[in-house]
């Protein structure tokens, strides 16, 4: 899983957000209960879709359990997903996280270039693979299909040539997600759903791989790393077409599935998948020499043309699609081109300014700092370990980077905020 489904609180209704959080907490607790606290590091937003698919096909009474108070829920108890769905999500997350860590070790990326870090990471990856395999066997899912697909990725990357279709490079991801999606029908006792869910999973894997490639394109080009778009010479316009086709295919395949409770799955695999495409290409199309400048992330259509003003120093700038960009702010305003503004006065006993915090209340540690206060490598490792064990990476939104101190989170505030997913099973 690549973590492309990052729902914003503004797009999910309160009820759907509670459902989504129940599956996120269920995945986290399944990893903790069966594999220890360290395994909770692999909790991810895409993995919980597996759990949501199982519950959507079966009665809710069979898939929930009460969870005790948690600091990440303001010390409140709640009902979370349980059973085969959460276990399958845990198994898939562990195996794919193991493969991702092993890939970083082989490529000697960043800190993994250090021998000590690489050795420790390799042992963790081996442990996660074994744990995922045991959990998968317990629920009748052979994780070998995942490991074999991942092993084939390197072979395919070496075989792909300039001019080939980028879809050739997405085949391993397609096979892995197709197998995981199809097994949700087995766990839910709906074998007739296996074929359409496998098709939905295959196309979701294609979209996820391509979107991951688009988001990493600038970094990969700067580092000279392998990227399916660069390796095949696929432009971003063609990549966008492939992603749009995959998203439409997922929606059509889901229409063939018999769901008992389709709303959350529809929200995640239709609406949020569309949003993932808009978010990735909103960031990715500009500045890479792959065509004209595109609208900013979250821009979904041209608005009314702003009225001119006789004293307006800069006319509105037109996007290729017909939208307009507001003029730059005047000198002295925030974000303007004038002289720098006087920085805010420092307050409190810390030199980094008054602490602030985001969504989640005052129990979060570490706090946000303005400006962000970076940490050295070793102190950052300690903070990262604490944040992992307290689930802040998956439940705190936004959360401060352990090393950079900068805010990170699922909501990039570039969303097209709507509550259309709070309705019935729409086909919009």
More confident residue, 131 or 406: 131
Q: Comparing C-alpha atoms, which of 194, 195, 202, 148 is closest to residue 178? A: 202
pLDDT, average across residues 384-404: 75
CB 337 within 8 A of CB 328: yes
CB 46 within 8 A of CB 1: yes
More confident residue, 74 or 134: 134
More confident residue, 17 or 410: 17
Q: Comparing C-alpha atoms, which of 153, 321, 169, 143 is closest to residue 242? A: 169
Distance CA 35, CA 322 (A): 53
Please give the full DSSP string across 287-336, using - where no structure is assigned: TSSSSS--PPTT--S--PPPPP-TT-SSPPEEPTTS-EEPPPPPTTSTT-
pLDDT, average across residues 309-338: 45
Residue 321, pLDDT score: 43
Q: Per-residue confidence at 296, pLDDT binned at 50, 70, 90?
A: very low
Distance CA 258, CA 185 (A): 10
DSSP strand pairing (399-400 vs 407-408) = antiparallel
Distance CA 392, CA 386 (A): 9
More confident residue, 381 or 10: 381
Residue 300, pLDDT score: 41
Is 67 in a helix, a strand, or coil? strand
Q: Per-residue confidence at 56, pLDDT binned at 50, 70, 90?
A: very high
Average pLDDT, the chain: 77
| Choice among 126-130, 283-287, 386-390 with the minimum mean pLDDT | 283-287
CB 43 within 8 A of CB 27: yes
Peptide bond into 366 cis (omega under 30): yes
User: 200-222: per-residue pLDDT in tens?
Assistant: 999 999 999 999 999 989 988 88
Q: What Rg value do the Cα atoms of the chain yield, rounded? A: 23
Residue 74, pLDDT score: 63
pLDDT, average across residues 6-23: 85
Q: Comparing C-alpha atoms, which of 182, 176, 169 is closest to residue 146? A: 176
Residues of the chain above pLDDT 70, percent = 73
pLDDT, average across residues 177-199: 95
Residue 63, pLDDT score: 65
Distance CA 325, CA 120 (A): 49
Distance CA 86, CA 65 (A): 11
Residue 243, pLDDT score: 96
Residue 72, pLDDT score: 64
Q: Is the pLDDT of residue 295 over 60?
A: no
Distance CA 314, CA 380 (A): 44
User: 326-374: per-residue pLDDT in tens?
Assistant: 445 445 444 444 444 444 444 433 344 444 454 444 567 787 777 777 8
Which DSSP symbol is given to 40?
Answer: G
20: CB partners within 8 A, 6+ apart: 7, 12, 48, 52, 264, 268
Task: Give the H/E segment covering residue 81.
Answer: strand 76-81
Distance CA 275, CA 298 (A): 8
CB-based burial of residue 238 (10 Å sphere; 0-12 exposed, 13-18 middle, 19+ buried)? Answer: middle
User: 259-281: per-residue pLDDT in tens?
Assistant: 999 999 999 999 999 999 999 99
Distance CA 232, CA 5 (A): 26
More confident residue, 178 or 78: 178
CB-based burial of residue 367 (10 Å sphere; 0-12 exposed, 13-18 middle, 19+ buried)? Answer: middle
Distance CA 60, CA 6 (A): 24
User: 226-256: per-residue pLDDT in tens?
Assistant: 899 999 999 999 999 999 999 999 999 999 9
Residue 258, pLDDT score: 94
Q: Per-residue confidence at 55, pLDDT binned at 50, 70, 90?
A: very high
Give CA separation, 133 vs 139, 142, 146, 189, in Å: 10, 7, 10, 22
CB 67 within 8 A of CB 25: yes
Q: Per-residue confidence at 2, pLDDT binned at 50, 70, 90?
A: low
Distance CA 316, CA 324 (A): 6
CB-based burial of residue 2 (10 Å sphere; 0-12 exposed, 13-18 middle, 19+ buried)? Answer: buried
Distance CA 217, CA 227 (A): 7
Peptide bond into 32 cis (omega under 30): no
CB-based burial of residue 249 (10 Å sphere; 0-12 exposed, 13-18 middle, 19+ buried)? Answer: middle
Please, what are the domains in the chain? 84-284 (1.10.600.10)
């Amino acid at each position: 899983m690549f973590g492309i489904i990052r729902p914003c609180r503004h797009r999910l209704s309160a009820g759907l957000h509670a459902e989504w959080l129940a599956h996120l907490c269920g995945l986290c607790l399944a990893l903790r209960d069966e594999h220890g606290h360290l395994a909770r590091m692999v909790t991810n937003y895409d993995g919980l879709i597996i759990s949501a698919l199982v519950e959507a096909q079966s009665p809710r009474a069979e898939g929930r359990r009460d969870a005790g108070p948690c600091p990440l829920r303001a010390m409140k108890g709640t009902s979370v997903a349980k059973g085969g769905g959460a276990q399958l999500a845990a198994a898939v997350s562990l195996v794919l996280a193991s493969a991702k860590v092993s890939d970083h070790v082989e490529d000697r990326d960043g800190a993994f270039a250090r021998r000590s870090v690489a050795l420790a990471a390799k042992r963790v990856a081996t442990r996660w693979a074994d744990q995922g395999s045991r959990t998968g066997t317990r629920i009748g899912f052979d994780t070998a299909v995942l490991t074999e697909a991942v092993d084939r990725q390197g072979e395919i990357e070496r075989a792909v040539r300039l001019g080939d279709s980028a879809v050739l490079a997405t085949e391993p991801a397609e096979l892995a997600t197709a197998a995981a999606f199809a097994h949700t029908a087995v766990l839910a006792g709906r074998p007739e759903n296996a074929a359409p869910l496998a098709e939905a999973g295959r196309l979701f894997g294609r979209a996820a791989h391509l979107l991951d490639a688009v988001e990493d394109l600038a970094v990969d080009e700067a580092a000279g790393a392998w990227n399916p778009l660069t390796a095949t010479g696929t432009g971003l316009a063609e990549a966008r077409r492939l992603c749009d086709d995959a998203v439409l295919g997922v929606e059509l395949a889901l229409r063939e599935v018999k769901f008992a409770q389709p709303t959350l799955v529809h929200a995640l695999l239709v609406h949020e998948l569309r949003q993932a495409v808009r978010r990735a290409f909103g960031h990715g199309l500009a500045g890479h020499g792959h065509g004209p400048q595109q609208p900013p992330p979250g821009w979904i259509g041209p608005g009314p043309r702003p009225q001119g003003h006789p004293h307006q120093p800069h006319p509105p700038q037109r996007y290729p699609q017909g939208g307009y960009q507001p003029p730059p702010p005047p000198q002295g305003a925030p974000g303007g081109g004038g002289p720098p503004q006087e920085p805010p006065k420092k307050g409190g006993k810390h030199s980094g300014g008054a602490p602030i915090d985001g969504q989640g209340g005052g129990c979060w540690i570490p706090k946000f700092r303005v400006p962000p206060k970076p940490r050295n490598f070793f102190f950052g490792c300690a903070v990262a370990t604490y944040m992992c064990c307290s689930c802040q990476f998956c439940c705190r939104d936004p959360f401060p980077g352990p090393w950079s101190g900068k805010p990170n989170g699922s909501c990039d505030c570039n969303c097209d905020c709507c509550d259309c997913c709070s309705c019935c099973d729409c086909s919009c």
